[in-house]
Amino acid sequence: MKSLIQKLKEALAESNFQCSIISVQHILDLKSELEQRLGDGSLDRNFYHERLTSFSYNIPAEFPDAKTIINTAAPQPKIKVEFCLDGNNFFAFIPPTYSYETDAVAQQVLSRLLANDGYRVQKAVVPEKMLAVKSGLAGYGRNNVTYVEPFGSFVRLKSFWTDLPADFSYWQEFRVMERCHNCSACIKKCPTQAITSDRFIIRAERCLTFLNEKTDPFPDWIRPDWHNCLIGCMICQDICPMNKAVKDQVVDGENFSEQETLMILKGERKEKLALATQDKLKRLYLWEEYVLLHRNLNSLIDKEKRSNG
């Protein structure tokens, strides 16, 4: 007879998901790891406080019986978004991981299956990349991006507290994937030199993704031709041999008219946008990130104009 864990993995696999299951006892290990990196200087202090302090390492008060965390991995392609300006169509890309749609699918699958045996599921806010690597679900690339076979890095991770007992809990040390040892493609291609050969942890404070997810003006040392995505960056992932089979996976997203494009470029308040425009942004999961689009889209269009003379 199949165990509940086997049934769980098979149910997720039917939606093309993978997962790992670990004891909640390991969660504090992730906190200790981050604090150690902060202490030894491998993590920039400003980056740590801006991005890595929102995690919750404690079992939720409303879920005191939580025993395990299930970490799911769902494949995600790039999303192509069309804008119109001066009568010309302009395309911008959203990298994988920015769509939350697969989070809901994972939770539905887990809830439906576990409820049959009296177990519960609740979303967790934990360091999911670290959890995926330590639990064996993913591997770390030299670029500190996580890779899950056969999805490459075109994958979104999402974790859930459950009261499902764990009879085992695989837990490994952090390490770069074997294929990275003799490869320097991402080091050579990274324009900001965030990835270096002399350390395992990238200089996250220099990463273009980190910089264009902030509302601050771009630093003066960022060259205009480095911009490549509406949010985030795909340079190191597109060049990575581990993504050879998936790097061209793209789905069409929303189309924005010239009027809509101009309002975004002008930084119009999102509440003043037409309801149809608001709906498009929400379907792209950019509603909460709207404050970034004015600057990022202007940068991409300026780059396009320069390249076309």
| Res 174: pLDDT | 82
Residue carrying structure tokens 């809901």: 104
The ranges assigned to domains in the chain are 4-307
Pairing relation of β-strands 155-162 and 18-23?
unpaired
What dihedral do alpha carbons 20, 25, 29, 31 form, nearest 10°? 100
Q: For residue range 109-144, list pLDDT tens digits in order.
A: 999 999 999 999 999 999 999 999 999 999 999 999
Contact 25, 155 (CB under 8 A): no
Q: What is the pTM of this model?
A: 0.93
Pairing relation of β-strands 139-140 and 146-147?
antiparallel
- DSSP at 59: P
Indicate the length of the chain as a whole number: 309
| Res 172: pLDDT | 87
Q: Helix (H, G, I), strand (E, B), or coil: what is residue 114?
A: helix
Q: For residue range 232-273, list pLDDT tens digits in order.
A: 999 999 999 999 999 999 999 999 999 999 999 999 999 999
* CA dist., res. 97 & res. 280, Å (int): 18
- How large is the average pLDDT for residues 40-47? 92
Mean pLDDT of the chain: 94
